[in-house]
């Protein structure tokens, strides 16, 4: 059974973070330059205080209009970020993401930020797992 730690082992545990007082303009630039969909919001690099995603920026625009660029991450971030752990099964993480309609989950190990998984990471790992199972079954059928 694939676990979140397997995804992190393959992709790495680098997480792009921001602080709550960063400007929305700054984080929009970071999202573009890094080609990512979300930033984990943390004051100290360990404790997660929220997450800010492209979706939060879009929702912020509908609320604040042209004033959005002057707002801070703290004004638009999702404060109650759902998280997962390295030992969580990928199948369960996928279910949480689907049920709550979120695309990114910070990974916490002993309460400290240890990585970030996206829905793309989760889907890719599930497809790789299904492909491997198909290959094993094909080999079994051919050998018998």
pLDDT in tens, 89-104: 999 999 999 999 999 9
∠ CA 33-114-118, nearest 5°, is 50
pTM for the model stands at 0.86
- Mean pLDDT for 94-120 is 95
- Mean pLDDT for 133-141 is 63
State the pLDDT confidence band at 124, using cuts at 50, 70 and 90: confident
**End-to-end Cα, the chain, rounded Å:** 25
Q: What DSSP string describes 57-98?
A: HHHHHHHHGGGGGGSBHHHHSBSS---B-TTSBHHHHHHHHH
Residue range(s) defining the domain that contains residue 41: 4-143
State the pLDDT confidence band at 45, using cuts at 50, 70 and 90: confident
State the pLDDT confidence band at 13, using cuts at 50, 70 and 90: confident
The residue written with tokens 């497809």 in the block is 127
Q: How many domains does the chain have?
A: 1
Tell me whether strands 38-42 and 17-18 are parallel, antiparallel or unpaired.
parallel
CATH of the domain at 51: 3.10.580.10
């Amino acid at each position: 059974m694939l676990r979140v730690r397997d995804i992190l082992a393959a992709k790495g545990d680098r997480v792009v973070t921001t602080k709550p007082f960063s400007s929305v303009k700054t984080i929009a630039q970071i999202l573009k330059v890094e080609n990512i969909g979300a930033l984990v919001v943390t004051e100290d690099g360990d404790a997660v205080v929220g997450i800010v995603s492209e979706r939060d920026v879009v929702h912020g625009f509908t609320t604040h209009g042209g004033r959005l660029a002057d707002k801070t991450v703290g004004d638009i971030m999702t404060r109650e970020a759902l998280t997962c752990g390295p030992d969580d099964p990928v199948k369960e993480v996928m279910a949480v993401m689907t049920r709550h309609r979120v695309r990114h989950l910070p990974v916490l190990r002993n309460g400290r930020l240890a990585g970030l998984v996206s829905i793309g990471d989760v889907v890719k790992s599930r497809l790789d797992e299904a492909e491997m199972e198909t290959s094993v079954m094909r080999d079994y059928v051919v050998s018998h």
